[in-house]
Amino acid sequence: MPSTGYIVSALVIVAGITFALRAVPFAFLGRLRSSHVTAFLSQHMPAGIMVILVIYLLRGVDVTTSPYGLTEATGIAVTAGLYLWRRNVLLSIFAGTAAYVLLLHFLPAAHG
């Protein structure tokens, strides 16, 4: 069993590293706000992340058998359509998910 001093020193080191990892970003916050790279990323990354998530979602869709990706396509269409119409992210995500789940349960071949 490790000595008390060893355990205390390990806890102090872990606490120090945890504190530093949480505090260091605030030290650079001023520089990050005025950075052109940060401005570019904040403008373009949300769309990029959404594209990656949609591709990840669709990677396993089999369009050669019934329902031919209808559930996924409907969910995406409802989400995109509602967002373009209302500009409300939460509403579009919830409605698109609800449309997907409802079709998943009511289309007989959608269960795979």
* Top mean-pLDDT range of 54-68, 72-86, 98-112: 72-86
Residue 110 has pLDDT above 80, yes or no: no
Say yes or no: 22 and 46 in one domain.
no
Say yes or no: 61 and 19 in one domain.
no
CA distance readout (Å), 97 to 23, 37, 67, 81, 82? 37, 33, 17, 13, 12
Q: What is the pLDDT of residues 28-48, one digit of tens each?
A: 888 888 889 888 888 888 888
Could you list the residue range(s) of the whole structural domain that residue 3 is in? 1-34
Say yes or no: 47 and 27 in one domain.
no
pLDDT score for 30: 81
Q: How far apart are CA 65 and CA 111, in angstroms?
A: 12
**How does the average pLDDT of the chain come out, rounded?**
89
Say yes or no: 28 and 46 in one domain.
no
Confidence grade of residue 17 (pLDDT, cut at 50, 70, 90) = very high
pTM here? 0.59
Instruction: Check: CB of residue 104 under 8 Å from CB of residue 110.
Output: yes
Say yes or no: 17 and 55 in one domain.
no
Residue 11 has pLDDT above 90, yes or no: yes
CA angle (64, 65, 70) in 5-degree steps = 95
Say yes or no: 104 and 76 in one domain.
yes
Say yes or no: 11 and 47 in one domain.
no
Instruction: Check: CB of residue 68 under 8 Å from CB of residue 112.
Output: no
Length of the chain: 112
The domain tally of the chain equals 2
